């Protein structure tokens, strides 16, 4: 009886120790070679659709970082490494990196991007161990997904339809094409492009971008609430300068959100988060 009680107590203590380790907010999530360190307790949320870590306070110090390395941790284990990379560089690094030196993103965020090459390991940014640890610390948000629906051509007009879905546990404010109009919307994105399966480009958006005034400003009436679990379809009409023959093409599209114009105290509007970042999607599609 006494032996059983001791075994039971040991199991409970081991389980409790494991639980404390997993949920410890003082564990480090992010460390850089230059000494920058952020704990789970320093973080507000992580959006897995854009790979953006939102911090509780502003941190302008990493915007001027040029070439330090960094690491992401889950429960004390280093999961992957990356580098800070200056935006003025004419090249991009392989693997995970953070754009630095006048980043497009607010100084309370760290966006971890990734450059892939052939025959290399898959994208580590949403490694299951990272996702599990973020979930345990109530930091994980799934953000948006974007899908290309259809491309139809009639005469000199191409009609493009795409769908945005809120996968997040929370409602989000998204940039609304129907509110901004196509010109302002295309200030934030290059829009649609089509390439032959041999990668030769046959179409790209010719819509003239409308620059906000002042340039880094934004307005709440450009945004619409997308409830958790809901989807919204948008349609863009493009003019065609050269004929596009029917057939199979690689379609690419970047759905944009607001970026550096959003300050920390503006991130939540009426308790709804503004979705920041962009999602790039590709799809093989038949043009009729």
Please state, rounded to an integer, the average pLDDT across all residues of the chain: 87
* Bridge partner list, 99: 85
Q: How far apart are CA 161 and CA 174, in angstroms?
A: 17
- Highest-pLDDT range among 26-30, 114-118, 158-162, 216-220: 158-162
Q: How far apart are CA 70 and CA 26, in angstroms?
A: 18
pLDDT value at 14 more than 70: no
Q: Which of 26-35, 100-109, 149-158, 201-210 has the lowest mean pLDDT?
A: 100-109
Q: How far apart are CA 178 and CA 168, in angstroms?
A: 22
Q: Give 4 or 144, the one with higher predicted confidence.
A: 144
pLDDT value at 170 more than 90: yes
Q: Give 101 or 149, the one with higher predicted confidence.
A: 149
The domain ranges of the chain are 22-136, 143-287
Report the share of the chain in percent with pLDDT over 70: 86
- The arithmetic mean of pLDDT across residues 159-177, rounded, is 98
- DSSP assignment, residue 111? E
How sure is the predictor about 275, in pLDDT bands with cuts at 50, 70 and 90?
very high
pLDDT value at 10 more than 60: no
pLDDT value at 21 more than 60: no
Instruction: For residue 134, give the 3-state DSSP assignment.
Output: helix
Q: How far apart are CA 152 and CA 287, in angstroms?
A: 6
Please state the pTM of the whole predicted model: 0.87
Question: CB count, 10 Å around CB of 123?
Answer: 14
Paired tokens of 121: 């390991």
Q: Which of 84-88, 192-196, 270-274 has the lowest mean pLDDT?
A: 84-88
Report the share of the chain in percent with pLDDT over 90: 66
Q: How far apart are CA 264 and CA 110, in angstroms?
A: 13
Residue that has been written with the tokens 């989807």 in this structure = 231
CATH superfamily of 143-287: Intracellular proteinase inhibitor BsuPI (2.60.40.2360)
Encode pLDDT of 224-235 as tens digits. 999 999 999 999
How buried is 217 (Cβ within 10 angstroms: 0-12 exposed, 13-18 middle, 19+ buried)?
exposed
Amino acid 7: pLDDT: 43
How sure is the predictor about 59, in pLDDT bands with cuts at 50, 70 and 90?
confident
Amino acid 115: pLDDT: 86
DSSP string, 212-260: PSSTT---GGGEEEE-TT-EEEEEEEEE-SS---SEEEEEEEEEE-B-T
CA distances from 219 to 67, 105, 234 (A): 35, 17, 20
Q: How far apart are CA 233 and CA 224, in angstroms?
A: 13
How buried is 76 (Cβ within 10 angstroms: 0-12 exposed, 13-18 middle, 19+ buried)?
exposed
pLDDT value at 12 more than 70: no
């Amino acid at each position: 009886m006494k032996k059983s009680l001791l075994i039971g107590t040991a199991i409970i203590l081991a389980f409790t120790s494991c639980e404390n380790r997993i949920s410890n907010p003082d564990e480090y999530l992010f460390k850089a070679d230059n000494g920058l360190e952020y704990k789970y307790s320093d973080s507000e949320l992580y959006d897995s659709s854009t790979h953006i870590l939102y911090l509780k306070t502003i941190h302008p110090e990493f915007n001027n970082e040029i070439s330090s390395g960094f690491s992401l941790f889950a429960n004390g284990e280093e999961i992957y490494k990356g580098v800070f990379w200056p935006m003025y560089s004419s090249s991009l690094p392989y693997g995970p990196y953070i754009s630095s030196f006048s980043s497009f993103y607010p100084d309370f965020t760290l966006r971890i991007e990734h450059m892939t090459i052939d025959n290399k390991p898959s994208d580590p940014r949403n490694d299951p161990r990272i996702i599990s640890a973020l979930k345990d610390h109530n930091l994980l948000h799934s953000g948006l997904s974007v899908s290309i629906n259809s491309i139809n051509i009639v005469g000199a007009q191409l009609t493009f339809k795409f769908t945005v879905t809120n996968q997040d546990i929370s409602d989000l404010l998204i940039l609304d094409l129907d509110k901004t109009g196509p010109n302002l919307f295309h200030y934030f994105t290059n829009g649609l492009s089509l390439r032959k399966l041999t990668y030769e480009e046959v179409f790209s958006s010719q819509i003239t971008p409308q620059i906000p005034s002042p340039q880094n400003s934004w307005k709440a009436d450009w945004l619409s609430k997308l409830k958790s679990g809901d989807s919204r379809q948008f349609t863009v009409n493009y003019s065609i300068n050269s004929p596009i023959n029917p057939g199979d093409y690689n379609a690419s599209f970047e759905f944009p959100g607001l970026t550096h114009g959003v300050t920390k105290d503006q991130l939540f509007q009426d308790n709804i988060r503004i979705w920041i970042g962009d999602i790039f999607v590709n799809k093989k599609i038949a043009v009729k």
